[in-house]
Each structure stands twice: as C-alpha cells, then as structure tokens.
Structure 1
C-alpha cells in the first residue's frame, strides 16, 4: 500500500537549518542510550554497524545518545566519551559509516550529573539533595562555570572526528535538565531561582559552542516539555525555556519529556497512547522561530504526517520504531506503508521495557532480525550484567 504523492513529499522534503546545513528529510532517529561502546568510551564495530544501518535505512539524521563530556559522570559504562584520550580512528570510522546515504550523524553531548552511574561516580547535581533513598552532592559555582568550556572541548572533538552536528542533552533528568528543574536546582546564586537563572548555564554553553564551532556547524538541544515529576519543571516553565532559547543561535530544538529520576511518571502511563508532546510542540511553535523536532510515542506514518501537516514541528523524532524497523524511513519516504510491530508487555517491571529495547539494539547491530526474547526480567538482568562487566575497564582508563 502506498501513500499519495503529497504526504510522501512532506516526509521527503529537505530542510535547511539556520546554520545552512541541509537535512534531507523530516525523519530523525532520536537519541537513545545504545550502551554499545567498549567500556573505555570508544565505539565498537557493533555500534558503528548500528548507525550505518539507520543511515542505509533512510533517516535524515541520527543522534547518538549520551556521549559524555566527562568520564566521571557517565550514564552507563557503555557510553561514548569525547576527551583527549578518545580513539580518533574509531570515531572517524563511526561517523564515516553513519553518514552514508547523505545522512547526518550528530553526537548528543551529555553529563549525567545526579543520575550518573553510581558504581563509577560520586554523583553531583546543581544542589545537594536527599529525597528518600536518593542523595547527591551539589556542584560548586566554580564547577558550574567550567561546564561551557567542557562542552565546547567535547564538541570540538566531535566536529574533528566527522560528526556533522552536536545536540546538548537538557532533558530526561540528566545534568542540564536538573538545572532547569526547581526540584533539583535549589541554588541561590546566578544559576538558580527564576526560569531565566536556571537556564543561564545552558545559554552560556550554547554561546561557547557557537564561538568554538563556528556559524556553519549545526547545534541542537533536547529539552523536556515537563519533567512529569512532582516539584519538577512544568510545561509553563518549559515554554519559558523555549522563549529563552529563541534568543540564542541554536539550530534545532527537540521536544521530549519525562525523567529517569525514581518516581517520575512515564509518558506511556498517560491517558494518551501517543504521540505525547504534540500539543506542547504546538504551543512552543508560537514561542520560537527556531526549527522544532517533536519526539515521543510516534508509531505510525499517519501520526508523523499529522504532526508535520499541523506545522507544530519541522521534524519528527522516532526511537523504538526504528529499533523494530531499521528501514522505516526509507519505506515511508518512498510511500510504502510499513508498520512497526510493537510488542505488548503486561505489567512490565520498572525499567523492563527500556532494557528490552536497549538489548534489541544489539540484534540490529549484529544484522540479526530474529525476534528478541520477550522476558523483561531477563532483559533487565542482561542489561545490568553487561554494564557490570565494563566497570573495571572504565575504572582502569578513567580513574
């Protein structure tokens, strides 16, 4: 079954970012934590193949999630790291193969902050905090002021390695998201208080990146529409962040939502079955001229076309759909109505669905299309065991 020419053209239409870079279509493989690096912050053959497959499959842009700017605060020991010890040859192999078929490949620059992997980190957030069993230290003003330079150094390594852009991760409860959140950010200095003050470090980072990377290199940012967490960033505050970002030189704003902080409400728990953030994106569209991506809960081509036709966003980001069907972008832009077969999980344990999809990435990376075992407890165990095996390698290199 094929779509009519008009919606096909809508998906396949190139887009020119403010910096002048051209993304060939409107389908973005949003950042996910693939956890496929080698335990020393370097790409593996499987990780390289994974992003090559998505490029061959027709995406306009793939974003590699959780590329760390500081090995002291990783999300997992399977993250990539961009620092002077990085394996430049392996990074260039990754970017070369992930950019075939005119695809963009961007690095999502991250710092897990208070949600860093605890076996490897003395976790720190914007403020010292203790909520139930959760506890973290607070960053000094000097540590905060060093962040723009740290992000800029990592971004320069990314550019030199062949990444065609970078995205600043300010969503999902990690460090820059923590600065935006009144739950995590209880500072009384210039980095805390009002939404504008809580956004200050992000604006400083964006300014430093633009100065370092030049006017023609794409810079994006991912933010939450809300934290979906009591005391966290609200939707109204997030719109104020959009207004602040509109005054920067950022090229692309990706809208998502939620947090990995314990107790945060998952988007999939909402009354809607997805997409989850289209209404917020429509409101954000009225706040900024900067191109927008809306991500979260898109499962069908019809949903994507509806969002693009409504002009609430210029791109749609997909994650799990591209795990289930790596060639989905190629099919949809050609008018082929391929449907991803989303599995159904009954009463999934906490973290189980995310672990299942993360482990399923390995099947794509190995060019195996067989069905993955649906036992979520086994997926969680396999995911945790894989991280534990990498801890010693990470410590040996970085600590």
Structure 2
C-alpha cells in the first residue's frame, strides 16, 4: 500500500539540530516558538532536528529525546504550534553511533571499533563494536520513537541515514567492517536500515508517512559510494519508503556544507541534483534535494526538469524563516548564507561554527527575536564551550 498525503506546497524545511531541549531532553517553549515561526513562514513539510531514540546516546548536550521516559504532553504542545498554517511536522529520528563528543561518552557504540579520523579524532572516542543484542535494541528504539511520534501528532517520521550517524555508519564499508549478517557485502550493510524501516512500518501502519535522509555518497575513501547508495534507494523503494531526502558527506568529509563544488554544481546551486536525476531511474518515491538552493529560478528549474519533487532548505531557513512565502511572492528571489567567523580557523573548527552559528540563530527565533546576520562568531564560540562544560559536570539521572 502506498501512503497518500497532500502537502500544500513543495517547500521542505530540512532538519537542523536546534539544541533546544531541556535538562530532561524534552522540548522547550523555544522550540514551540521556533517551529510556529517556520510554519507561519509557509513551508509545506517541516522536519525536526535530531530527535534521539536513546537518551544514553546523544549527539549534542541539548538534543531532544523521544522515548518511553519522555513527557508526551510537551511533545503534543510542540506539534500543536508546529502545524499551524496547514504545515506538516515530521519527526527526524536519529542515533549518533560513534559520533558522540568525548565529553558525553567514554565508550560510544558503532558497527565496528573504528575511530573517526582527521581533525575529529581528538574530539571523539574510539567506539566499541555493537553486539547483536545491541543492534536489535536500537532497531526497537527507532520503532518505539516512531510509535510515540505518531501518538503525539507528528504527521510523519524521517530516519536519519546521512552525515556519518549510526544508520549511515552501517551502510559505509569504511565504518562497517563486520563479518556477520550486518556487514561485509552491500546487502548485509543494507540490512540495518531496512530492518529499521520495516520495524517502524510495522509499528505505525501503512498510511503513516516514513521518509529517509540518505547520503548520495560519503565523499571519502572507502565510504558509501554513489553506486551503492543507488542500490539503497532501490531497496528502500521496493520495501515501501514514502520519501527520500538526498544529502551527502559526513563530518569527516562535509560535502553537505558545499565544500569544493564543481562549476556545473554552482550554476545549478543544489549540491546533489545530478544524483537525484540518476535516482529517478531507481525509484518512483517523492525525492527531496537539500543543500545549495539559494534562488527561486534554480528551485523552479529543478522542479521543472523533474530532478526533485520538493525543495529542501536548511541554513537559508535559519536566516529567513518566511523564505517559502518570499519565493512564492517574488519569482526573482535570491538569498545568500554566510556565518561570521572568529577569524581563527582552528577555533571555528573546534566550535563547528559553520553549524553552531546557525543553531544560535534558531535560539534567537525561539526567543521571538529576528535572526541576526551580524551575530559574533566569538559569542557563539563561548556559548558552545559553555554548553560543553556544563554538560560534562552534570550529574547523570538516567
């Protein structure tokens, strides 16, 4: 059975980690305000940032967690605010795997005991390979979170299978070097994401939309290749996925940030459009391309050539929450996106400023303020370090 849902337009607010959970990892009033702002801005589907399925495995200190310990009444209030103006609010479900900062976990779990490399090596512990039982427990956790998402009123869920998080780690021959049924061949490396999807589908039923955020490639040696990614698209489509959002890269090789782009890509703006065009041969599901769109003409061109069905927008929506309405009203609309550096490259990288600067904009909107294009990189750096320190000294209450 194919899920049939009507969306009011083709704008898709992609997930961005907000870091606006409370001490118990429930949503805060700032999240209510932020998502109401986006909904009023005209987006068709709005996807939450990183709802973690396991409160013992957080990617960031203030992640929201949706599990059996969550206060569901607070989530219902979040949904109420985020679905005004006929907007669909979907929950992005995620598990970080080994992508947990060292100050938050002394022994993260991953498909294989392989550490992150390069500049990330110092900030992340080497993981322990998951046992069969732990793999099955995480699959069940995704299913539980999806059930709760439906219960509190989210109108769809998205599995995060991109950017080096756990589901992506299982797909990667670089990070998954298991020799059991969960690793080795491409088919075995696909097993985890397919089992997560099937468990969610069994839990939420045939009529509830399930999407996935999938890497077009990992853009690193021995990572998930474009050819293998296409096979994942085909396998998920045959299994019954409803929507595929195309992204790419990991924090070891951040292609999703628009680094080292070809001239042809710059002209078309969207980073992963060529992949989406090829993916059409392997799926008839809704395709979303996220990353790079900055102008109404480029968005229209992508839709008119059937490269994608929806326009995914991340950082531009952190600066202009009513961007969809602006594009609808102005056929020549164009925007730019650029964070404010500290001026010291190593400090920018330590604070992951190309991400945290935009998180700070979301925090401003959550307080009812306007995004600030002049926000100091130094202020964001100090705030980021403060969050890290306060989390490290917190007493765990799980």
TM score, norm. by length of structure 1: 0.90
Q: Please report the RMSD computed on the Cα atoms of aligned residues, expressed in angstroms.
A: 2.0
Which residue of 2 is the match for residue 108 of structure 1?
92
Query: CA offset at residue 397 of structure 1?
Result: 3.1
- Output aligned runs, 1:358-373, within 5 Å: 358-369=359-370, 371-373=372-374
**CA distance change for structure 1 residues 180 and 94 in 2, over 3 Å: closer, same or farther?**
same
Question: For 1:205, what is the secondary structure of its paired residue?
Answer: helix
Which residue of 2 is the match for residue 241 of structure 1?
232
Query: CA offset at residue 362 of structure 1?
Result: 1.2
Higher mean C-alpha displacement, 263-272 vs 205-214: 263-272
- Output aligned runs, 1:1-399, within 5 Å: 18-121=2-105, 122-130=107-115, 133=121, 135-261=126-252, 264=254, 267-272=257-262, 273=266, 274-335=269-330, 337-343=332-338, 349-350=348-349, 351-369=352-370, 371-390=372-391, 395-398=395-398
Distance 1:264 1:93 in 2: 34
Query: CA offset at residue 287 of structure 1?
Result: 1.0
Question: For 2:200, what is the secondary structure of its paired residue?
Answer: helix
CA contact (8 A) 1:294 1:316 kept: yes
Distance 1:308 1:317 in 2: 12
Count of residues paired in the alignment: 380
CA contact (8 A) 1:63 1:106 kept: yes
Distance 1:201 1:240 in 2: 14
**CA distance change for structure 1 residues 391 and 213 in 2, over 3 Å: closer, same or farther?**
farther
Alignment gaps of 5+ in structure 1: 1-16
Distance 1:108 1:370 in 2: 23
TM score, norm. by length of structure 2: 0.90
Query: CA offset at residue 324 of structure 1?
Result: 1.1
CA contact (8 A) 1:39 1:79 kept: no
Question: For 1:114, what is the secondary structure of its paired residue?
Answer: coil
Question: For 2:327, what is the secondary structure of its paired residue?
Answer: helix
Question: For 2:42, what is the secondary structure of its paired residue?
Answer: coil
Deviations 1:161-190 (A, max 9, x none): 111110000100000000011111000011
Distance 2:390 2:52 in 1: 19
Distance 1:23 1:43 in 2: 25
Deviations 1:164-222 (A, max 9, x none): 11000010000000001111100001111122210111111111111110111111111
CA contact (8 A) 2:30 2:366 kept: yes
**CA distance change for structure 1 residues 344 and 126 in 2, over 3 Å: closer, same or farther?**
closer
